[in-house]
Structure 1
Amino acid sequence: MITLLVVVIVLAIAFDYINGFHDAANSIATIVSTKVLTPFVAVLWAAFFNFVAYFVFTDHKVANTIAKTVIEEYITLEVIFAGLVAAISWNLFTWYYGIPSSSSHTLIGGFAGSGMAFAVFQGVNPLEAINISATLKIVSFIVLAPLMGMIISIIITLIIINICKNSRPAVAEKWFKFLQLVSSGALSFAHGGNDAQKVMGIIATALIAGNVIGTFEEMPGWVPLACYVAIAAGTMSGGWKIVKTMGTKITKVTPLEGVSAETAGAITLGITEHFGIPVSTTHTITGSIIGVGLVKRVSAVRWGVTISLLWAWILTIPVSALLGGLTLAVIHYIL
């Protein structure tokens, strides 16, 4: 039991690290594509703010929501192990092909799928293993998070354009390049606060399943620290294939638009974190980038690329759930 618990915790930290380099593009894509920072400096900048979030996001509401995705009686260490294997597999697959899918949703999908498979093996309706209200809230924000990001980025872009309409272009661009440092730092800060908590929820659940702690509130202090360190280290490793997709393939981004998109993403993540809703940073910033493209004109957005991304978003939870269920089935029949 102790050995499996250690393996699960190591896998969870590994997933957090992968989440960092998979999602590095979210906060640095525009700042790299506009040449405000070099890729190396950009990932250091993002990683720093990922970790700073550790000192601010102390309520762990998102972690608590993740921990409650599967009903407690259907959670075992084997279920968590299978969910993590599924999540890591899908994350590495999408990273390899440069697809900016959601690390958050692959974790939720893998965990839910393995929990449902466990229920089947117990002769129970698999839907009984899922906390339906928590799951529906998460699933609804597959649509709502990018929509929020898009609307907020359109509003911010229009405000900035009207304020700066009489500014000299060279002076304005210089200012927006500076402001991109601020906006990308804010997005990295929000990303760390939102995404590190998801793994905290999984580790806390594993500690409860392993009878180390009794409730989520008893989560030891090393868990948040380890999660923030892992996601910051992963961010420093970068995710260059996804940077290219996010920074150039959706729409051409200027420093002004980079500021708008990153600020909109940070605001959206801040709002959802306040209400304990685990959303996808990837979905949010993609919606924000689409928003700044729409301000120019509808044709400025490369809709073929965007539709491909939407398919990846739609498939992430069901594919991860299937992988989680299959992994648990292999464990069940082998052990």
Structure 2
Amino acid sequence: MELALVVAVIVIALAFDYTNGFHDAANAIATSVSTRALTPRVALLMAAVMNFLGAFLGTEVADTVGKGIITTPSGQHGLVIVLSALIGAITWNLITWYFGLPSSSSHALIGGLVGAGLASTSVVLWSGIVDKVVIPMVLSPAIGFLGAFALMTAILWIFRRSNPGKTTRGFRLAQSLSAAAMALGHGLQDAQKTMGVIFLALLSTGHVQPGQGIPVWVKISAATAISLGTYSGGWRIMRTLGRRIIHLDPARGFASEAVAATVLYVMAIGLHAPVSTTHTITSAVMGAGATKRLSAVRWGVAKGIIAAWVLTIPAAGVVAAACYWLAHLILE
């Protein structure tokens, strides 16, 4: 029974990784597609490849998710907790995907872990959650907004006397690079979260020891799942991020992606924090768009997105807690 549960957790974790890919594909490519810097299919292929490569850039975020959110009991009980967390996260991903809201898969997973942990009376590591989740969750969108606003302001000043046609063509080319950097950062951040959950399941059953690193097969599986999900596309969310918040031009698209990618790398490698690629790029799009004029940003759409952000952790946590109680009755 325990082995079957281990296999089920791994399969569902990879399914979450796949939904993360198609849910968050828009993060890397929506701005490039909306400004016509890249065609949708080329953009998706590029994002899938860069997601795969990004998954191998480090394990800092995976370590935080696998060891820094909750401490699970050993054996079957621990597996049920992880399984419930994943179901809660996938459920919220599908709900927000259906309504086209770019919510955070990362925070859905963390909310699922916390909800299942509280329902099971496991040890929730609140200090780690505050340091590695809550503070970065607030900082990354703020830095994304202000950074993109500042970079776009600088671009407007530097190119104020340049030929508009040449400048637009130049930034379309630059966007190919910034979109690739964004996709690489997405792989670095989000594939590692699935690695961390699988590692947590293996740790609770003794298949890996506390001092061991993440097995290579776990890295390859997570990287492959998120890449396949990305290539399948997330067109509903792409429309919201690429056009409904603000109609971007190539320069603003470049500024948004460049700043968001930088935040992802710094948070992952420097602070080991599992931040939301969705929150970061959406805020950066708002910041770059605000340089036109504040009214150019469709704040009504932005309010809906922010509401989804606020609800993500508690909503995924409630679903995960309900799944735990149900699974506890059936399996334990």
Q: Which amino acid aligns with 1:171?
A: K
The answer to whether the aligner puts 1:129 opposite 2:128 as a matched pair is no
**1:154 paired residue number:** 149
**1:300 paired residue number:** 296
Query: Greater shift after overlay, 191-200 or 142-151?
Result: 142-151
Per-residue deviation, residues 188-239 of structure 1 (Å, max 9, x unmatched): 0011001111011100000011210111633211111111111111100000
Structure 1 segment 144-293 matched on structure 2, within 5 A: 144-215=139-210, 217-274=212-269, 275-293=271-289
Structure 1 segment 23-38 matched on structure 2, within 5 A: 23-38=24-39
SS of match in other structure, 2:70: coil
Aligned length: 325
CA contact (8 A) 1:205 1:216 kept: no
The answer to whether the aligner puts 1:320 opposite 2:316 as a matched pair is yes
Structure 2 spans left out of the alignment, 5+ residues:
none
In 1, Cα distance between equivalents of 2:288 and 2:30: 14
Relative distance call for 1:202 and 1:112 in structure 2 (3 A) is: same
**1:123 paired residue number:** none
In 2, Cα distance between equivalents of 1:99 and 1:178: 28
Relative distance call for 1:43 and 1:142 in structure 2 (3 A) is: same
Query: How far 1:73 sits from its partner (Å)?
Result: 3.6
Query: How far 1:309 sits from its partner (Å)?
Result: 0.6
Identical residues among aligned pairs (%):
42
CA contact (8 A) 2:72 2:117 kept: no
SS of match in other structure, 2:120: helix
SS of match in other structure, 1:251: coil
Query: How far 1:333 sits from its partner (Å)?
Result: 1.9
CA contact (8 A) 1:204 1:216 kept: no
SS of match in other structure, 2:37: coil
Structure 1 spans left out of the alignment, 5+ residues:
120-127
Q: RMSD value over aligned CA atoms?
A: 1.3
In 1, Cα distance between equivalents of 2:212 and 2:264: 23
Per-residue deviation, residues 245-264 of structure 1 (Å, max 9, x unmatched): 00011111000000000001
Q: Which amino acid aligns with 1:71?
A: T
In 1, Cα distance between equivalents of 2:28 and 2:119: 36
Relative distance call for 1:110 and 1:298 in structure 2 (3 A) is: same
CA contact (8 A) 1:64 1:216 kept: no
Per-residue deviation, residues 113-133 of structure 1 (Å, max 9, x unmatched): 1111111xxxxxxxx721011
In 2, Cα distance between equivalents of 1:334 and 1:9: 20
CA contact (8 A) 1:9 1:203 kept: yes
Query: How far 1:134 sits from its partner (Å)?
Result: 1.5
In 1, Cα distance between equivalents of 2:25 and 2:192: 16
The answer to whether the aligner puts 1:93 opposite 2:99 as a matched pair is no
Q: Which amino acid aligns with 1:133?
A: S
Q: Which amino acid aligns with 1:314?
A: V
In 2, Cα distance between equivalents of 1:66 and 1:54: 15
CA contact (8 A) 2:55 2:192 kept: no
**2:117 paired residue number:** 115
Relative distance call for 1:212 and 1:188 in structure 2 (3 A) is: same
Query: How far 1:324 sits from its partner (Å)?
Result: 0.6
